[in-house]
Amino acid sequence: MQRANKAIVASWKGRPGRVRPRAVDVGLAVAVAVAVAIAIDVSSYWDPSTRPPDALAYALAATLGALLLGRRRWPLGVLIVSVVTLQVYHFAGYPGISAAVPLAVALYTAAAAGHLRWSLGIAAVYLAGLLLYAVLWYPGPPGPVLDELVRDGALLAAVLLFGDAVRSHRALMVESYERLRREARELSAARVIQQQLLPRELPSLLGWRMAAYYRPAREVGGDFYDLLELPDGQLVLVTGDATDKGIPAALVMATTHSILRGEAPRLVSPGAVLEQANDRLYPDIPAHMFVTCLYAVLDPTTGRLRYANAGHNLPYVATADGVTELRARGMPLGAMPGMRYEENEIYLAPGESVLFYSDGLVEAHDPRGEMFGFPRLRKVVENSAGGDHLIKECLAELEGFAGDGWEQEDDITLVTLERTN
């Protein structure tokens, strides 16, 4: 449905711009002048007692049309002059014509420009003048003239209401546009702030190679990763995912990131860090939200990797014997107070690598609704050369799977750690 809507919008995008406002005004001016001239001719047949149309009558008809050329710049002035011109026509004794023919466009323009009260007043004065003329000076019975006045009044009222509705719609469109611009600026600022929370440069460790990739589904997202060097030479690796997307997830993500950064230098145990982070996050996090997080500590010298998992996707480890998962039990952060987190460890040998990732990759869907899935990702890890090549291969597999026009559903984060020697 979204693709269809985009196609429709794209097909119509350039069409309104082809008709210039000046061309519209010229067309309306000609149409009104011709319509008034025709109305004068028709009226002269059924009202032969009035003054026969002459050059002055048709000149007044042309004037009513020509006035519309200035309707955008002087909407109220065009309406007033049109009413005066029409009054001159009537008091000159020419055949009566419907007021809706010469005044509809001018009334609509004035009302759409925000001059509804003035437009109502001018229309009322005009109709009142015709009413006095019909009652006091019209030679025949006033009944037919009164019927025409009622009809014209109803038509002009409808035109005024339509013009005011257009004005209201334009005002709402302007308000919406300004709000969207303001929100876009705020989101842009939020994205800059969020990007600053992510590592600007990856740590450089002898014998190790790291790579990272981050792409939010919206301007800002709930995914995060961090690589923090501890004073004793160890390295903290964190990947996380706050539920939901957009601003709420970004705020929770920033809070979690700050908590983990504060606890990392003080507590060496991954499980203890997650326990403290959960207890600090739980009282303040919204009831419907939580954060999944994988927290690991690497000793670059020995290759020892200790880790704890708060409900996050299981990392994949590529070894000479195949691909395994780093398993550790634990509830997401902020879901329940007083949680304990299982802590495990492995030793990475030279040539082995680890992939940390968020669910934005494995839960992506192709046009048929099929999910990318964990088995597909595991197969990519098995066949990969490791390191930064693994990230490129994951993204290439995702692009081939999702196809052209894929709309990203969730944030995607990929972090790889490889021992080179």
174-185, pLDDT tens digit by residue?
A: 888 888 888 788
Find the mean pLDDT for residues 70-76. 88
Find the mean pLDDT for residues 135-163. 75
Give pLDDT, residue 48: 65
Measured N-to-C along each axis, helices 388-402 and 374-382 cross at an angle, to the nearest 10 degrees, of 140
pLDDT of 316-339, one tens digit each? 999 988 999 999 999 999 999 999
Collect all residues with Cβ–Cβ distance below 8 Å to 6 and sequence separation of at least 6: none
Find the mean pLDDT for residues 241-245. 82
For residue 69, pLDDT over 80 is answered with: yes
* Region(s) of the chain under CATH 3.60.40.10: 203-419
Find the mean pLDDT for residues 27-35. 88
Return d(Cα 200, Cα 210) in angstroms, integer: 13
Q: Where are the alpha helices (DSSP H) in 47-115?
A: 55-66, 75-91, 100-112
pTM of the model: 0.63
Q: Could you count the other beta carbons within 10 Å of the beta carbon of residue 315?
A: 25
What is the percent of the chain where pLDDT is above 70? 91
For residue 139, pLDDT over 70 is answered with: no
Find the mean pLDDT for residues 195-211. 87
Give pLDDT, residue 2: 44
Find the mean pLDDT for residues 127-133. 74
In CATH, what number does 203-419 get?
Answer: 3.60.40.10
pLDDT of 292-313, one tens digit each? 999 999 999 999 999 999 999 9
